[in-house]
Amino acid sequence: MLERLFQLNAHNTNVRTEILAGVTTFLTMAYILFVNPSILGETGMDKGAVFVATCLAAAFGSAVMGLIANYPIALAPGMGLNAFFTYTVVMGMGHTWQVALGAVFLSACLFFLLSIFKIREWIINSIPLELRSAIAAGIGLFLALIALQNAGIVAANPATMVGLGDLGSPAALLAILGFFLIIGLEALRITGAVLISILVVTGLSILLGVSQFGGVVSMPPSLAPTFMQLDIAGALDVGLVSVIFAFLFVDLFDNSGTLIAVAKKAGLMRKDGHLPKMGRALIADSTAALGGSLLGTSTTTSYIESAAGVSAGGRTGLTAIVVAVLFLFALFFAPLAGSVPAFATAPALLFVAVLMASGMAEIEWSDITVAAPVVVTALAMPLTYSIATGIAFGFITWVAAKTLAGRFRELNGMLVALAVFCVIKLALF
């Protein structure tokens, strides 16, 4: 049955290798079980319900990817997208988390339609690679600021807006230790470095009496507080159009980049650069995002950590199925997730920021019409505390720079239309 479903022999793999790869992928991305409830919980959402929604969304998304596309790619609520959900849409713009879930649902519907009608390639090709890299880097810097705040390393300052926090506090010291631990473990190529760091810092925090221990295993909490609580009508408000498109674009760029990177590493990409079953993979991703919004979590997307499983030999959807099963098993560890303090997940956010900022290396810094929009995009996100604003500033600056430099021919209709839309949005809403 497994051979018929996943074509193991054709991909030169076997059940044992696929299981090992699935376990490896799960360990590298399991940190989301602790980080996502911590971030979304700040909106007022029930953390227990968010934990269950995270497990179920990851299990559903990974299973759909494995069965529909037969790719060794796992899915879960995306980093950056959950921060956008909490700190921009809810805390920044003042919308309820129910409305934010409605925006996630609508963006997933758009993503699904783009995948069905194969418009994705046109949109992706319309956005310059440098601007896509800047958006990823800006989200990384935004996550870094949140991480430093959660750790108490950066604090509000009336004179300078931000300043140095209390480095002598237990939270700050443990967060710094956790970040150094991740770096060391990653350098030694130890699987699950981020997860190990979170558990070690949490353990030390409990032993030192800084945080409370809530237990390890129990029956899963109720999903009722978040299940089907999305407000689609509220999300259709004109002022939320940019939010819906921000969810869509970030997921589109993130997902496409992840699919290409992991598929290339797995040897699934053809010599001409074509990725077989890309359409199926995108449909699986958008379906997972739809399911996640109904369950009660931010956008579910493909994880670059899947590359760890590919390195362990994963080549088929069976790897993703194993990840799905492990996320279902994780449902019973809700008390452990509830015991993790914010400063224990801060190192994970900072580490993800490091990975996302690496895209800046691809920028042509000698071209000022490229460098300026990239820097504006990356800095605007943390400094305005808004991913959507950073994206808007990036589109506007790119079009303005190219136009004023007499290089209007380097622009396309899609990019110009987005820039005009962003100007109207910033002016009126």
Q: What is the pLDDT of residues 268-301, one digit of tens each?
A: 766 655 667 777 888 888 899 999 999 999 989 8
Express as a percent the part of the chain with pLDDT over 70: 95
Q: Between 124 and 95, where is the model more confident?
A: 95
Coil vs helix vs strand at 77: strand
Q: Which of 239-253, 313-327, 346-360 is least confident?
A: 239-253
192 band by pLDDT with thresholds 50, 70 and 90: confident
Mean pLDDT of the chain: 87
How many Å apart are CA 142 and CA 95, to the nearest integer? 20
Place of tokens 């018929």: 4
Alpha helix segments (H runs only) across 152-302: 170-187, 193-207, 232-235, 241-265, 278-295
User: Above 60 in pLDDT, residue 410?
Assistant: yes
The arithmetic mean of pLDDT across residues 46-52, rounded, is 94
Express as a percent the part of the chain with pLDDT over 90: 42
251 band by pLDDT with thresholds 50, 70 and 90: confident
Task: Tell me, yes or no, if the pTM score tops 0.85.
Answer: no
Coil vs helix vs strand at 91: coil
User: Above 70 in pLDDT, residue 145?
Assistant: yes
How many Å apart are CA 328 and CA 57, to the nearest integer? 10
Q: Between 90 and 136, where is the model more confident?
A: 90
User: Above 70 in pLDDT, residue 421?
Assistant: yes
Number of neighbours of residue 92 by Cβ within 10 angstroms:
16
User: Above 80 in pLDDT, residue 73?
Assistant: yes
The arithmetic mean of pLDDT across residues 391-409, rounded, is 92
How many Å apart are CA 361 and CA 359, to the nearest integer? 5
252 band by pLDDT with thresholds 50, 70 and 90: confident
40 band by pLDDT with thresholds 50, 70 and 90: very high
pLDDT of 298: 92
CB-based burial, 100-127: b 16+ in 10 Å, e otherwise: bbbbbbbbbbbbbebbeeeebeebbeeb
Contacts of 361 (CB under 8 A, 6+ apart): none
226 band by pLDDT with thresholds 50, 70 and 90: very high
Q: Between 52 and 309, where is the model more confident?
A: 52
pLDDT of 403: 94
